[in-house]
Amino acid sequence: MSAQLIDGKEVAKNIRKNLKARIGALKAKGIIPGLAAVLLGDDPASATYVRSKERACEKLGLYSEVVNKSDTLQQEELVEIVKSLNNNDKIHGILVQSPLPKHIDELSVTLTISPDKDVDGFHPHNVGMMLLGRPGLLPCTPYGIIKLLAYYQIDPKGKNVVVVGRSNIVGKPIAAMLLQKSEMANATVTIAHSRTKNLGEVTQRADILIAAIGRPKTITADMIKEEAVIIDVGVNRVEDSTTKKGYRLTGDVDFAPCSEKASFITPVPGGVGPMTIAMLMSNTVTAAENLLAKKKL
Ligand code: GUN
């Protein structure tokens, strides 16, 4: 392996360390940043995500609350829960865990979350502010990718960045963030997706390749340029009878051969994943600071 590993665990640890001083300053003013997670049903993957968010809060001394309801909960009831969290002074960040049951209209739930408490950065207000390059809460996974690049001093300025995947959670926002006229941005961004013709030709142009497709080993070594920086956002469960759980996690990138060719590469697990939760903690602290500043005005 010739590529340098981008260690998300180390960077996330560094982010948490820096948050401690900010949390201490808030606590000195009597404020404990609080995060509420709303979880419908008992999908094991969602329950695991929510538990790891709770654990992360606990480790940092943040307040956390989980509202776990049946997946038969009606839209109006969910909206009422979100409204009461909007009005709850102990809560500075609200996230509604997706996927939601089919009978729930996700957009109207997101629109109900106060943009000030939207620590996922999914509210159209925050999405719009991000596109305009204005301050707002940024979505955790893309924000985490920017932090990874910054930690390893990989400046996207003037680089060809190819994002593979156009989801609202990762593909579209990371593309928007990297093309801003600002620090750790100024890239020439291409977005490729499932309908892109000759995907390999497009990805070969990437100085920085961001794979957020959701299909294992989609990016193979022949599709990348020598010395490219490879960011793998994929978290795919593949069957593996040799493990206790019966599955293992694998990314969207064919790791071993790509790591021979790349200059930097993120592993899965241990790359982008730990950053998402670290940035959720960071957004919760930011939301608490912003709410405090607003109250003082
Ligand atoms: N489900 C999977 N990832 C996420 C996330 O980042 N936020 C929320 N709310 N739900 C998710």
Last residue of a domain, one of 114, 130, 162: 114
User: Measured in angstroms, how far is the CA atom of residue 98 from the centroid of ligand 1?
Assistant: 5
- 50: domain CATH number is 3.40.50.10860
Does 204 fall in a domain? yes
Q: Are 59 and 71 in contact (CB under 8 A)?
A: no
Which class for 203: exposed (0-12), middle (13-18), buried (19 or more C-beta within 10 A)? buried
Tell me what pLDDT residue 295 has: 87
User: Measured in angstroms, how far is the CA atom of residue 296 from the centroid of ligand 1?
Assistant: 32
User: Measured in angstroms, how far is the CA atom of residue 109 from the centroid of ligand 1?
Assistant: 14
Sheet order of strands, 264-265 included: 4-5, 264-265, 229-232, 208-211, 160-164, 188-192
Structure confidence by residue, pLDDT tens digits, 27-40? 999 999 999 999 99
Do 200 and 256 have their domain in common? yes
Do 75 and 179 have their domain in common? no
Weakly modelled stretches of the chain, pLDDT under 50:
none
Does 4 fall in a domain? no
For residues 95 and 25, give the distance between their C-alpha atoms in angstroms, rounded to a whole number: 24
Does 297 fall in a domain? no
Does 97 fall in a domain? yes
For residues 125 and 212, give the distance between their C-alpha atoms in angstroms, rounded to a whole number: 24
Do 203 and 82 have their domain in common? no
Do 36 and 105 have their domain in common? yes
User: Ligand 1 within 6 A of 110 CB?
Assistant: no
Do 174 and 243 have their domain in common? yes
User: Ligand 1 within 6 A of 120 CB?
Assistant: yes
Tokens of 236: 């795919």
Do 80 and 192 have their domain in common? no
The active-site residue out of 116, 118, 120, 207 is 120
Tokens of 242: 């040799």
In testing the pocket of ligand 1, which one of 109, 110, 120, 276 has its CB within 8 Å of the most ligand atoms? 120
* Residue having the nearest C-alpha atom to atom 3 of ligand 1: 98
Tell me what pLDDT residue 122 has: 98
For residues 49 and 42, give the distance between their C-alpha atoms in angstroms, rounded to a whole number: 12
Tell me what pLDDT residue 183 has: 97
Q: Is 153 a catalytic residue?
A: no
Chain centroid offset of residue 22 CA: 21
The DSSP symbol for 216 reads T
Nearest residue to 233 via CA among 197, 285, 281, 274: 274
Do 103 and 165 have their domain in common? no
Range of the structural domain that residue 97 is part of: 30-114
Do 184 and 253 have their domain in common? yes
Token pair 């469960």 in the structure block, residue = 237
* Residue having the nearest C-alpha atom to atom 1 of ligand 1: 98
Contacts of residues 245-251 at CB distance under 8 Å and 24 or more positions apart, as own/partner, are 250/216, 250/217, 251/211, 251/216
User: Ligand 1 within 6 A of 140 CB?
Assistant: yes
In testing the pocket of ligand 1, which one of 43, 51, 98 has its CB within 8 Å of the most ligand atoms? 98
Q: Is 225 a catalytic residue?
A: no
Task: Name the pairing type of β-strands 236-239 and 247-250.
Answer: antiparallel
The DSSP symbol for 242 reads T
For residues 93 and 65, give the distance between their C-alpha atoms in angstroms, rounded to a whole number: 10
User: Ligand 1 within 6 A of 98 CB?
Assistant: yes
Does 216 fall in a domain? yes
Tokens of 266: 């993120």
For residues 214 and 248, give the distance between their C-alpha atoms in angstroms, rounded to a whole number: 14
Q: Is 180 a catalytic residue?
A: no
Tell me what pLDDT residue 60 has: 98
Percentage of the chain exceeding pLDDT 70: 99
Tokens of 200: 């390999």
Does 17 fall in a domain? no
Tell me what pLDDT residue 297 has: 62
Can you tell me whether residue 176 is helix, strand or coil?
Answer: helix
Tell me what pLDDT residue 296 has: 76
The pTM is what? 0.97
* Residue having the nearest C-alpha atom to atom 9 of ligand 1: 97
User: Ligand 1 within 6 A of 97 CB?
Assistant: yes
Do 171 and 262 have their domain in common? yes
Q: Are 177 and 199 in contact (CB under 8 A)?
A: no
Nearest residue to 207 via CA among 180, 232, 181, 226: 226
Q: What is the dihedral of CA 207, 154, 275, 166, to 10 degrees?
A: -30
* Residue having the nearest C-alpha atom to atom 2 of ligand 1: 98
Tell me what pLDDT residue 264 has: 98
Do 171 and 59 have their domain in common? no
Do 184 and 259 have their domain in common? yes
Do 49 and 86 have their domain in common? yes
Tell me what pLDDT residue 289 has: 98
* Alpha-helix runs per DSSP H in the chain: 8-28, 44-60, 75-86, 106-112, 124-132, 140-151, 171-178, 199-203, 255-261, 273-296
Residues 6+ apart with CB under 8 A from 200: 222, 223
- 237: domain CATH number is 3.40.50.720
Tell me what pLDDT residue 42 has: 94
Residue 231 φ then ψ, to 5° = -110, 115
Does 14 fall in a domain? no
Q: How many domains does the chain have?
A: 2
